[in-house]
């Protein structure tokens, strides 16, 4: 599973053949996001595919913003997308915007009109839909279809000049209203939108449609392999038509692959934006979001996302990937990298009554039992410590090996302690344990006098650093039968739990995005937004174990 970079997929085979046959001299790809939201894990698959393909064959990859829909687009997204691509580990050759080409696209549309291959239509969107026909019935020609070239040129120039309102006129390709492929039934090329564009401002009030802008952008940039998801398969004849009829010098080709779907994961910018706008999550980079920025803030590494994308591969068959596969790869990545320390998420105070008052000693602890190179650290131990509330039970069932009255356990890296007394508040809640320790049992001393069955973690109380631990569940509750249920009705009210506890004193200098394994709790990341001088906030990336085996 380590190095799958060089494993094959059908697109690589095509590129390799094209290079060998001399059909292309150099492979050029592009990643073409629309800046109408933040990128999600599905986009990561497309990014890895495009950049790694060019890397492997020593070609080039452009980042091109597909900014043809001014109403939904924003520079905030443009910046966030660049940050995400770079963070994933890729650098583009050129940064381009579809809007860079608006003038050339306009001129090519004029060329189409002159060739009798495009016309201005006056039909309303509603009428156009009615006349488009169905899968089994051909469409009908619009009354405007036979307009003269002169009239079309005049109307198109007036569209550009702003003489018409939104929706009043449209430029259509003149192809074939009876084509079995509905995409070829005189598709729209330009629409009117009196809207402010994040880059071109108010220079334009007509905007090219995706099916027109995309092939032209590819051809202008010399893209050789234009890779997109399968929904666009039926658009390919139109893609080829645009490149040919607009008389583009370069001839890019479109190839389709199956989009990434992940179980129980929302994979659409539109829906993710609803979660942000409705305040269901804090922001696009909320650690519960399947966005690249959300996964990063939760603590996923770029390496783990790339390994995931490599493992799922590239195919044309529809498939859904188990969400736990992503978790598998972050565990793999952090196993040897993350220091292992102790954190108490739900503290219960323990007083060690036979430990000298006012004394503190330093104990040695390994930083990563599986990676000696990470060395050791010293942690303080004294008369008062915190343990996990869960690690004590007053009336335990049999087979409970942690702390209960009269029982002895090992404190990780320290001593055996025995619970002598339980202190409760007026409501009967356990608020403190009084224990004794055995100085002979110090960890690493070679003590073999007796054994205990349970080992629990702890943090020394006087120097403990306050911390908040954020634990996550999926944003959506599992679908039960009625999969049609509106996704906003499936919001999981327990997607975030925040616990107030403590970490070891040497964690006080932890910085945003530092990652740790907390003994028995899993992998955690320092939240870069919410941590401050008084309190470190940790996001749980993933628990330690899962029964999920990706190789099974
Ligand atoms: P969304 O519906 O989430 O906005 P999109 O496809 O409209 O997705 P774009 O910004 O247009 O988003 O996509 C940029 C590139 O990412 C496209 O090439 C698209 O095919 C690819 N992409 C988007 N979603 C996925 C996915 N789930 N799996 C693989 N590639 C994807
Ligand atoms: Mg889109």
Closest listed ligand to the CA of 65? 1
530 is in an annotated binding site: no
Q: Whose CA is nearest to atom 10 of ligand 1?
A: 33
34 is in an annotated binding site: yes
Q: Do the Cβ atoms of 500 and 466 come closer than 8 Å? A: yes
Q: Cβ neighbours of residue 436 under 8 Å, at least 6 residues apart?
A: 352, 353, 354, 417, 418, 420
Q: Is 17 left (phi over 0), alpha (psi -120 to 50) or beta?
A: alpha
What SS3 state is found at 194? coil
267 is in an annotated binding site: yes
Closest listed ligand to the CA of 268? 1
Span 55-106, pLDDT tens digits: 999 999 999 999 999 999 999 999 999 999 999 999 999 999 999 999 999 9
Q: Which of 11, 39, 46, 318 to mutate to test the pocket of ligand 1 (most atoms within 8 A of CB)?
A: 46
Q: Which of 31, 42, 228 to mutate to test the pocket of ligand 1 (most atoms within 8 A of CB)?
A: 42
Q: Do the Cβ atoms of 221 and 96 come closer than 8 Å? A: yes
* Residue 34 falls in the annotated catalytic set: yes
Span 346-398, pLDDT tens digits: 999 999 999 999 999 999 999 999 999 999 999 999 999 999 999 999 999 99
Active-site residue identified among 34, 83, 245, 361: 34
Q: Tell me the pairing of strands 408-411 and 455-456.
A: parallel
CA separation for the pair 183, 39 (Å, rounded):
27
Res 2: pLDDT: 39
Three-state secondary structure of 52-99 = HHHHHCCCEEEEEECCCCHHHCCHHHHHHHHHHHHHHCCCCCCEEEHH
Q: Cβ neighbours of residue 337 under 8 Å, at least 6 residues apart?
A: 371, 515
Q: Whose CA is nearest to atom 3 of ligand 1?
A: 268
Q: Is 27 left (phi over 0), alpha (psi -120 to 50) or beta?
A: beta
The rounded Cα 526 to chain-centroid distance in angstroms is: 18
Q: Tell me the pairing of strands 170-173 and 188-192.
A: antiparallel
Minimum-distance ligand 1 atom for the alpha carbon of 272: 3
Active-site residue identified among 199, 259, 324, 410: 259
For residue 43, report the distance from its CA to the centre of ligand 1, in Å.
5
For residue 42, report the distance from its CA to the centre of ligand 1, in Å.
7
Res 545: pLDDT: 84
Q: Quote the tokens at residue 332.
A: 């793999």
Minimum-distance ligand 1 atom for the alpha carbon of 40: 3
pTM: 0.94
Closest to 172 in 3D by CA, of 213, 195, 144, 204:
144
Q: Which of 37, 43, 258 to mutate to test the pocket of ligand 1 (most atoms within 8 A of CB)?
A: 43
For residue 4, report the distance from its CA to the centre of ligand 1, in Å.
23
Minimum-distance ligand 1 atom for the alpha carbon of 229: 20
- Domains of the chain (ranges, CATH numbers): 10-257 (3.40.50.620), 269-334+467-503+509-542 (1.10.1160.10), 340-464 (2.40.240.10)
Closest listed ligand to the CA of 46? 1
Active-site residue identified among 269, 288, 310, 470: 269
CA atoms within 13 A on the CB side of 224: 21
* Residue 296 falls in the annotated catalytic set: no
| DSSP label of 381 | E
Res 160: pLDDT: 98
Closest to 253 in 3D by CA, of 262, 261, 244, 245:
244
46 is in an annotated binding site: yes
Closest listed ligand to the CA of 262? 1
For residue 471, report the distance from its CA to the centre of ligand 1, in Å.
29
CA separation for the pair 526, 511 (Å, rounded):
7
For residue 161, report the distance from its CA to the centre of ligand 1, in Å.
33
Q: Is 37 left (phi over 0), alpha (psi -120 to 50) or beta?
A: left
CA distances to 30, 104, 187 from 215, in Å: 12, 13, 14
* Residue 269 falls in the annotated catalytic set: yes
For residue 34, report the distance from its CA to the centre of ligand 2, in Å.
6
Each of the 552 residues of the chain gets a pLDDT tens digit; together they read: 334 455 789 999 999 999 999 999 999 999 999 999 999 999 999 999 999 999 999 999 999 999 999 999 999 999 999 999 999 999 999 999 999 999 999 999 999 999 999 999 999 999 999 999 999 999 999 999 999 999 999 999 999 999 999 999 999 999 999 999 999 999 999 999 999 999 999 999 999 999 999 999 999 999 999 999 999 999 999 999 999 999 999 999 999 999 999 998 999 999 999 999 999 999 999 999 999 999 999 999 999 999 999 999 999 988 899 999 999 999 999 999 999 999 999 999 999 999 999 999 999 999 999 999 999 999 999 999 999 999 999 999 999 999 999 999 999 999 999 999 999 999 999 999 999 999 999 999 999 999 999 999 999 999 999 999 999 999 988 765 555 667 788 899 999 999 999 999 999 999 999 999 999 999 999 999 999 988 999 999 999 987 777 766
Residues having CB closer than 6 A to ligand 1 are 32-34, 42-43, 45-46, 66, 228-229, 259-260, 267-269
């Amino acid at each position: 599973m380590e190095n799958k970079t060089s494993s094959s997929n059908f697109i690589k085979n095509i590129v390799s053949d094209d290079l060998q046959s001399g059909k292309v001299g150099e492979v050029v790809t592009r990643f073409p996001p629309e800046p109408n939201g933040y990128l999600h894990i599905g986009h990561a698959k497309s990014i890895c595919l495009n950049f790694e393909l060019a890397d492997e064959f020593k070609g080039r990859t452009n980042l091109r913003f597909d900014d043809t829909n001014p109403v939904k687009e924003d520079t905030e997204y443009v910046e966030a997308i660049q940050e995400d691509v770079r963070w994933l580990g890729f650098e583009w050759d050129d940064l381009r915007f579809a809007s860079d080409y608006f003038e050339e696209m306009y001129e090519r549309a004029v060329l189409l009109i002159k060739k009798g291959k495009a016309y201005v239509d006056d039909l309303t969107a509603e009428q156009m839909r009615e006349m488009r026909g169905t899968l089994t019935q051909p469409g009908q020609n619009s009354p405007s279809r036979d307009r003269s070239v002169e009239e079309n040129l005049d109307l198109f120039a007036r569209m550009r000049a702003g003489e018409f309102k939104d929706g009043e006129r449209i430029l259509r390709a003149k192809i074939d209203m009876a084509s079995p492929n509905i995409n070829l039934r005189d598709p729209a090329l330009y629409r009117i939108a009196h809207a402010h564009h994040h880059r071109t401002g108010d220079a334009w009030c007509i905007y090219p449609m995706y099916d027109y802008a995309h092939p032209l952008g590819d051809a202008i940039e010399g893209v050789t392999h234009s890779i997109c998801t399968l929904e666009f398969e039926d658009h390919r004849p139109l893609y080829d038509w645009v490149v040919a009829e607009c008389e583009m010098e370069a001839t890019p080709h479109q190839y389709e692959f199956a989009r990434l779907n992940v179980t129980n994961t929302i994979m659409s910018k539109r829906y993710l934006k609803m979660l942000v706008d409705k305040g269901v999550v804090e922001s696009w980079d909320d650690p519960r979001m399947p966005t690249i920025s959300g996964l990063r803030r939760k603590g996923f590494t770029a390496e783990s996302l790339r390994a995931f994308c490599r493992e799922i591969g590239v195919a044309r068959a529809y498939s859904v990937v188990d969400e736990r596969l992503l978790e598998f790869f972050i565990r793999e990545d952090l196993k040897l990298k993350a220091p292992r320390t102790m954190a108490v998420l739900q503290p219960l105070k323990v007083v060690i009554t036979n430990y000298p008052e006012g004394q503190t000693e330093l104990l040695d602890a390994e930083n990563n039992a599986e990676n000696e190179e990470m060395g050791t650290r010293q942690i303080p131990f004294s008369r008062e410590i915190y343990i996990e509330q869960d690690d004590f039970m007053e009336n335990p069932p049999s087979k409970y090996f942690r702390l209960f009255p009269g029982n002895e356990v090992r404190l990780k890296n320290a001593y055996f302690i025995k619970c002598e007394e339980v202190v409760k508040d007026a409501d009967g809640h356990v608020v403190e344990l009084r224990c004794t320790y055995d100085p002979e049992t110090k960890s690493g001393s070679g003590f073999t006098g007796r054994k205990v069955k349970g080992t629990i973690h702890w943090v020394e109380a006087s120097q403990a650093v306050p911390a908040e631990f954020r634990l996550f569940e999926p944003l959506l509750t599992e679908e039960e039968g009625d999969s049609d249920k509106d996704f906003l009705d499936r919001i999981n009210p327990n997607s975030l739990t925040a616990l107030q506890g403590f970490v070891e004193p040497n964690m006080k200098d932890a910085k945003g995005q530092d990652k740790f394994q907390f003994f028995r709790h899993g992998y955690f990341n320092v939240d870069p937004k919410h941590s401050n001088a008084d309190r470190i906030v940790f996001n749980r990336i993933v628990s330690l174990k899962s029964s999920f085996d990706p190789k099974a």
